[in-house]
Each structure stands twice: as C-alpha cells, then as structure tokens.
Amino acid sequence: MTIANKTVLITGASSGIGEASAKLLAQQGANVVLGARREGKLKQIADDISAAGGHAAYRQLDVTDPQQNKDFVAFAKEQFGSVDVMFLNAGLMPSSPLSALKTDEWNQMIDVNLKGVLNGIAAALPEFTSQKSGQFITTSSVAGLKAYPNGAVYGATKWAVRDLMEVLRMESAIEGTHIRTATIYPAAIQTELLSTITDPGALEAMNQTYDTYQIAPERVASVVSFAIDQPEDTNVCEFTIGPTTQPW
C-alpha cells in the first residue's frame, strides 16, 4: 500500500470524519498528524492510535490563522521528516435562510470552510512544490454540488472549494509539480456539524434528515484511504458519498 510510511496531516481531526480517517490511516501504516482547536480530544485520539501500535502526533490548530497552519506543517515535518498528504477537513455548517441575516455565521463559514482551506494550501504547497510530490484532500459537501434551502453561504463555500481544488490540480500538471488533489462530497454523515446550527427551523429540518439517513464517518475515511492509496501517477479527483437510502 502506498499509504504506509506517508505523513498525513488532518485538520478538523478531533471528531467525525477527521478522527475516523486518522485512525484508519494509522492502522494502514501512515504517520498521522492531528490538528484541531480541542487539544484534549486530539491527545486522546493520538493516545488511542499509539496504543494500537500506530504513529500519531497532534498540535492545536485554528485553521483561520495562517501562521498556525504554517507551524502545523513545520511540526509535522519535525516529527516525521516529511509531509506527504494534507487532508483539509475542518468545517462549520450553521445553516439558516438568508433572510435570517446571520452575517456573523456567514463570515465564520467563509473563514473556516474557505479561508481555512486556502491557509492549509498556502502552508503545505511550498513543501509539495519543492519535493515535486504531495496530495491535498478536502471535505466539501453535496451542498458543493447542488443548491439547498438554508444552505446558501455554506454551499457557496463548498462550491468554491470544488473549483479551487480542480484549478490546483490543473496548475500542478502544467507546472510539473505532480501534486494530486481529491475532493469529497459527503451527504448525511454522522458528525458534529449540526451542533453549529442556531436557526431553529434549519436545525429541525437537518435533524430530521440526519436522524433518518446518517451513516458512520468511517465510510468517508475509507474513501480518503482509497484516494491516498492510488499510485503516484494516478489522480482521483472527486467522490460523492452518502447513505444508499438518501436521495441527496
């Protein structure tokens, strides 16, 4: 497997898709570096991985801070000697109708979901360019593929990530830097995203959807693993994943 011995950095690693991916990739032989704001959760996950025989390190990370992203990449290289994959997974989903004018939440989503991805790319791209290899993986959403009521700003950030990753792939091919990209579009996956929704109507609707359909984050982790495990000359760009029973 090409996963073994790779150093994989994961943002939003303290729960959900990030946690599940870290545990699976470590089991498959990767060195995983966990980043999120909740340091206590990161420590527990890293301890669990180590107890199972895997290799993990962690560092508190606010993806909205460009310098913290740079420090995160430098920390990973200090710990394991290389940086091979950056899984940009941190995100917020405080859904609401535009008429509710929750502008603070709009800005939070732009800062985390879009600028946070850009900050991660800016931190790791020089390393990938220098070594002429590397891979960026992002967690977008089915809301990055189609429009949903209450999801205008959330969806806008996820559509933006889709374009960003495709252009990055194209430019790397043109520049000969061999950087791979993959974008994942999850539907109803069991995560903590719903905890950020403050609008009562949007929360009720989303709870009904997730209570009916949600599947485990380990399902997405297996897709992350698949993307990383492809031969270096092969790029798999996009994955839409969700419950078989959900019409999306």
Dihedral-angle region of residue 240 (phi above 0 means left; psi in -120 to 50 means alpha; beta otherwise): beta
Quote the number of domains for the chain: 1
CATH number of the domain at 203, please: 3.40.50.720
pLDDT at 223 over 80: yes
Structure tokens at 77: 């290289």
Does 247 fall in a domain? Answer: no
| Cα torsion 77, 32, 70, 228: sign | positive
User: Which secondary-structure segment (H or E) carries 90?
Assistant: none
Alpha helices (H) along the chain: 16-27, 39-51, 66-80, 103-109, 116-131, 152-175, 200-213, 218-228
Q: Which residues contact 110 (CB under 8 A, 6 or more apart)?
A: 153, 157
Average pLDDT, the chain: 96
pLDDT at 76 over 60: yes
Q: What percent of the chain has pLDDT over 90?
A: 97
Two tokens at 103?
């502008």
The residue range of the domain holding 219 is 7-240
Report if residue 196 sits inside a domain: yes
pLDDT digits (tens, 9 = 90+) for 43-66: 999 999 999 999 999 999 999 999
CA–CA separation, 50 and 57 (whole Å): 9
In a domain, 1, yes or no: no
Predicted confidence (pLDDT) at residue 1 exceeds the cutoff of 70: no
Of 239, 14, 1, nearest to 137 by C-alpha is 239
What does pTM read for this prediction? 0.95
Which residues are identified as catalytic?
154
